[in-house]
Amino acid sequence: MPRIAIVSDIHGNLAALEAVAADIRTRGIETVFNLGDSLSGPLLPQETADFLIASGWPSLAGNHERQLLEQRPGRGAASDRHAAARLDARAFDWIRSLPAVLRRDGLLLCHGTPDSDVDWLLERIAHGALVVDDEVAILSRLRGEQARVVACGHSHVPRLLRSAGGRLLLNPGSVGLQAYRGSQPLPYAVHGATPDARYAVLEQVGGAWQAELLAVPYDHMRMARLAGRNGFPDWEVALASGRA
């Protein structure tokens, strides 16, 4: 089977997306899956939607796609409100078309877990950070799914795990936002080791699946300055430094 690229959590960061797409092309990879949270943020949501629609990449709806469709005046996250105000009807039609889960050739692709776009598959909160959960807890969230490879996003943290039964579990990390702070169900922070855009490559070798987590440099300061101009200083810091 040809190699497969997995991207997630682009958050309207067109510069990061373009850098990742270019890196994917240099590797001769033609199949790309996008795990969602593609547009929400203070950056370039419409331009990112145009890119993804033109790409034809199979894409999922993450929690922010759902939240964009649920937007009401004066309500919801500021990043969703910013994006929703800048998206055209074609972009919203594309969002409505996105599935929550994809199953392809032995792969299970989801944003959070197969049942939830806001739960983490691989992590739990400990001491204010996201840490890898134990295997029993992770497998319980799969609700009996038997796919040999499970790819998820949502946490923005690149992870690569192998279960005792040989199942490959991965999170490619975030293309567009390497750090943030959350408050549910407890306060926590995610700090990337670098502001670089992240994605993963999957392939079968000798009948077994393996993956590589990749970091791609891009003009992150241009996106950081854009976030600052648009009134999101927390995003500006995160995009500039990879720290929340």
Q: 46-60 burial by CB neighbour count: b if 16+ within 10 A, else e?
A: bbbbbbbeeeebebb
SS3 50: helix
- According to the model, what pLDDT value does residue 75 have? 72
CATH number at residue 159: 3.60.21.10
Q: What is the pLDDT of residue 176?
A: 98
* Helix extents (H) in 85-128: 89-96
- List, for residues 68-89, the tens digit of each pLDDT value: 999 876 677 899 999 999 999 9
User: Along the 244 residues of the chain, how does pLDDT read in single tens digits?
Assistant: 689 999 999 999 999 999 999 999 999 999 999 999 999 999 999 999 999 999 999 999 999 999 999 987 667 789 999 999 999 999 999 999 999 999 998 899 999 999 999 999 999 999 999 999 999 999 999 998 989 999 999 999 999 999 998 999 999 999 999 999 999 889 999 999 899 999 999 999 988 999 999 999 999 999 999 999 999 999 999 999 999 9
Number of structural domains, the chain? 1
The pLDDT tens digits of the residues spanning 51-73 come to 999 999 999 999 999 999 998 76
- Nearest CA to 133 out of 166, 102, 169, 183 is that of 169
For residue 193, what pLDDT is reported? 86
CA angle 211, 172, 215 (to 5 degrees): 90
Looking at residue 74, what is its pLDDT? 65
**Residue range(s) defining the domain that contains residue 11:** 4-241
Q: What is the pLDDT of the chain when averaged over all its residues?
A: 96
d(CA 1, CA 207): 9
